[in-house]
Structure 1
Amino acid sequence: MKTNQIDLSRRGLLAVAGAAAATLGAGCGGASASATTATAAAATTPLARLFSTEVGAGKNLMLLHGWTCDSHDWSWQLPVLESKYRVVAVDLRGHGRSEVMPSGAYMPSDYVADIESLISTRYAGQKFILMGHSMGGQVAARLAAQRPDVVSAVISVDGSLGFPEAFGSVLQQGVSALQTGDLAIVGPAQFDSLYDASTAAAFKRWHARRLQGMSPQAVRESVGPLFLGPGQVGVGVASETFCRSLTLPFYHLCRTPDQATAMRPWFSNPKSKVEFWANTGHWIQQDQPDALNAAVTTWIDAL
C-alpha cells in the first residue's frame, strides 16, 4: 500500500428553487503496496503535502472525497476497486491526514492545483479516471477541463454541479452560518438535510465528529466558492456552460430526477451519462455501496 437548519439537500433546494429548477432543463493485475506523501513547487499557488494510498493494478483511478470528509469515505469501495484497478485515494488539503493550509488557501483552484501536481509529478505522463464525491466531483471536473492530458474520464458522485440559479441565495445563508456559528452545531445541522431516511445513524455521528476535528478555515472557506462569486461552476448557467465544455466521458450520479433530466444534454461524449439515484442520501457511496460499486465498475470497464 502506498500512503502518501437550512435545507441544503438537493430535494429541498430544488423545491425552494421552484420555477428556476424547471428552467434549467435544470485490465486486472496483482496489488502492490508502499507509502508516499506528495508535494511539489508551484509557480502560482502554494501546494499542500497530500496524504494518499495506492493499491492495485490496471486502469488508473483516483478518488477525491468531499467537503469535511477524507479518503476513508471510500472504505466501502476500496476493496472492490483496488482488486480491479490501480487506485489512488487522496486526502485533500486541510482534510484527513493532508497538510492544513492557512486561511485564504481553500479556493477550488487551490484544490485543483494540488491534484494536478500530484499526477504531473508522481505519475508523470499518465492519465487518470477521477472519481469525486460532492466537492471532490467539482474538483475532478475542473481539473479535467484544465488538463485533459492528465484526466481520461470523470465520475461525479452527487458532485457540486448542476444546481439551479436559486441555490446561490439559499447557499449564502448556509455559508454565512458557517462563518459566525459554532461549527460543531452548524455543520451537523446542515448535514441533516443531506441524509436519506435510510442513512445509518452511525454515518451521521461519524460525519459530525470528524468535522469537529478539522481546521476551522478548511470548513468555513471551502464550500462557498464552489457555488458563489466569480468563477463558480456549481449553479445555473455558469454550471451548464462549464459542463458543456467538457468533451471527455463524464458519469454524473445525482439525487433528483429534475437535475438528471436537465443535465443529460450537457455532456457531449457518447460514453457520458447522468443518472438519478433514489432512496439515498448525499453520501451515495455509503448508503448504497454495492449498487454504486457495480455501477461504477461497469462504466469504467466499458470505457
Structure 2
Amino acid sequence: MSARPGPLPAPRELTALSADGSPIHVEVYGPEGAPAVVLAHGWTCSTAFWAEQIRALAADHRVIAYDQRGHGGSPAAAPGGYSTTALADDLEAVLAATLGPGERAVLAGHSMGGMTIMAAAARPRFRQHAAAVLLCSTGPSRLTAEATVVPLRPGGLRSRLTTAVLGAKAPLGPVNAVSKKVLKYATMGPGTAPDRVEACARIVHACPRGARHGWSQVLAGLDLEAGLRELRLPVAVLVGTADRLTPAVHSRAMADALPHCTGLVQLAGMGHMTPVEAPEAVTAQIRELTLTYLGVKSGDQEKEKEQA
C-alpha cells in the first residue's frame, strides 16, 4: 500500500451551540471563501475518521467537520439528549455557525452521519444550505434486523442479540490484537490493511462508553424513512458489499426511495468503514458532487484545463 500523505493542515476550531445549549466541536479546513463540504461522522467515531477526505479536499474546498455530541471534542449529552431530533439540531447549529446566508454546501454523512442528514432533511436551514448529499454506509431503519454482525439467520433472536451486542455498556478495553480482530470482523472488509484497522480501532475505542451506549439505544429503534423521502435534492449513495452493520440492502432500498438519487456505488469487498477503507472512492464521490452542484474542479483538473 502506498504511503499516507502528510499531516492534516491545522484547523480553525469553533463551537456551535445546539438548540438545547449543547456545545458542538467544529473544525474548518481549507481556504476561506472556497466551496464548502460538511462532513458528519458515524457512531463511535470523530472528526479524525475523515482524515483522508480532509487531506484530499482542503486544498480547494472549505471542509467543515464536526464531532457528534458525546464524541471527540463535543461533550456528552444531558439526560434525554440522545435522539434523532438532537442529531438534526446539532447539524443545523453547525450549518448556522459555518455557512453564510444562502451559502450552499455538499454534505457527506457516514453511518449515523447519514442518519443525521435524513433526520434534518425537512428542516428549513438544511434545505437552505444543502446543495447535494452523499449517504455513505448508512440506513434509515431496521438496523438491528438487517445487520449481519451476529452470524445467525434473520429473525427475532438475531435482532435481539445484535441489539445486546451493539448496546453493551461494557468498556471496549485497550486496542490490541484481539480487539482489532473483533472490530475488523464487525465493521471492515476481510482484505482491509492492518494500518487502516489500527486507525479505526483507535478512533472507536476513544469514544466514551456513555455516548456509545446512549446512541446505540437511538439506533436500535431508528425510523427515518420519512426523512429519507424528504431529501428532495441530489443524493449519491455508497456502500461496501461486505458491510455487516448497514448491509447493501439498505442502500439499494434508499436509492429506490430517494426522489433524486444520482447513483448507487457498491464497493466490492469493503465493509462499513468506507471512508477509511476506501478513502479515494469516497473522496471521488464528494468531488463529483461538488463539481456537478457547486461547480468545483480539483487542482489537477484546473491544470489540465490550463495546459489544453
Provide the C-alpha distance between the structure 2 equivalents of 1:299 and 1:179, rounded to a whole number of angstroms. 35
Deviations 1:206-256 (A, max 9, x none): 433433433221100113323416xx22xxxxx2x4322321111111234
2:259 corresponds to which of 263, 268, 279: 268
Report whether the alignment pairs 1:204 with 2:197.
yes
Query: In the alignment, which residue of structure 2 is the partner of 1:218?
Result: 211
Aligned residues: 261
Deviations 1:50-73 (A, max 9, x none): 232332343211111111111111
Change (3 A) 1:101 1:77: same
3-state SS of 1:273 partner: strand
Query: In the alignment, which residue of structure 1 is the partner of 2:47?
Result: 71
Query: In the alignment, which residue of structure 2 is the partner of 1:253?
Result: 238
Query: In the alignment, which residue of structure 1 is the partner of 2:121?
Result: 144
Amino acid paired to 2:109: G
Amino acid paired to 1:130: L
Provide the C-alpha distance between the structure 2 equivalents of 1:290 and 1:86, rounded to a whole number of angstroms. 18
Query: In the alignment, which residue of structure 1 is the partner of 2:305?
Result: none
- Identify the range of structure 1 (126-135 vs 64-73) with the bigger mean alpha-carbon deviation: 126-135
1:156 corresponds to which of 129, 135, 139: 135
Change (3 A) 1:116 1:87: same
Query: In the alignment, which residue of structure 1 is the partner of 2:170?
Result: 182
Contact 1:157 1:254 in 2 (8 A): yes
3-state SS of 1:76 partner: helix
Contact 1:152 1:249 in 2 (8 A): yes
Query: In the alignment, which residue of structure 2 is the partner of 1:173?
Result: 161
3-state SS of 1:156 partner: strand
Change (3 A) 1:165 1:182: closer
Change (3 A) 1:142 1:181: closer
3-state SS of 2:219 partner: helix
Computed over aligned residues only, the root mean square deviation of the Cα atoms, in angstroms, reads: 2.9
- Identify the range of structure 1 (184-193 vs 147-156) with the bigger mean alpha-carbon deviation: 184-193
Change (3 A) 1:98 1:248: same
Contact 1:38 1:122 in 2 (8 A): no
Contact 2:167 2:216 in 1 (8 A): no
Contact 1:63 1:87 in 2 (8 A): yes
Superposed displacement of residue 164, structure 1: 7.3
Contact 1:34 1:54 in 2 (8 A): yes
Unaligned residue ranges in structure 2 (runs of 5+): 1-8, 148-155, 242-247, 294-308
Q: TM-score, normalised by structure 1?
A: 0.74
3-state SS of 1:174 partner: helix
Amino acid paired to 1:255: G
1:53-72 alignment runs, 5 A limit: 53-56=28-31, 57-72=33-48
Provide the C-alpha distance between the structure 2 equivalents of 1:112 and 1:59, rounded to a whole number of angstroms. 22
Superposed displacement of residue 260, structure 1: 4.4
Unaligned residue ranges in structure 1 (runs of 5+): 1-31, 234-238
Change (3 A) 1:36 1:75: closer
Identity among equivalent pairs (%): 22
Change (3 A) 1:67 1:247: same
Superposed displacement of residue 171, structure 1: 4.8
Change (3 A) 1:288 1:84: same
Contact 1:131 1:154 in 2 (8 A): yes
Provide the C-alpha distance between the structure 2 equivalents of 1:129 and 1:279, rounded to a whole number of angstroms. 27
Amino acid paired to 2:47: S
Q: TM-score, normalised by structure 2?
A: 0.73
Query: In the alignment, which residue of structure 2 is the partner of 1:102?
Result: 78
Query: In the alignment, which residue of structure 1 is the partner of 2:283?
Result: 293
Contact 1:61 1:130 in 2 (8 A): yes
3-state SS of 1:224 partner: helix
Query: In the alignment, which residue of structure 2 is the partner of 1:52?
Result: 27
Superposed displacement of residue 163, structure 1: 5.2
Provide the C-alpha distance between the structure 2 equivalents of 1:187 and 1:108, rounded to a whole number of angstroms. 29
Contact 1:263 1:274 in 2 (8 A): no
Report whether the alignment pairs 1:278 with 2:268.
yes
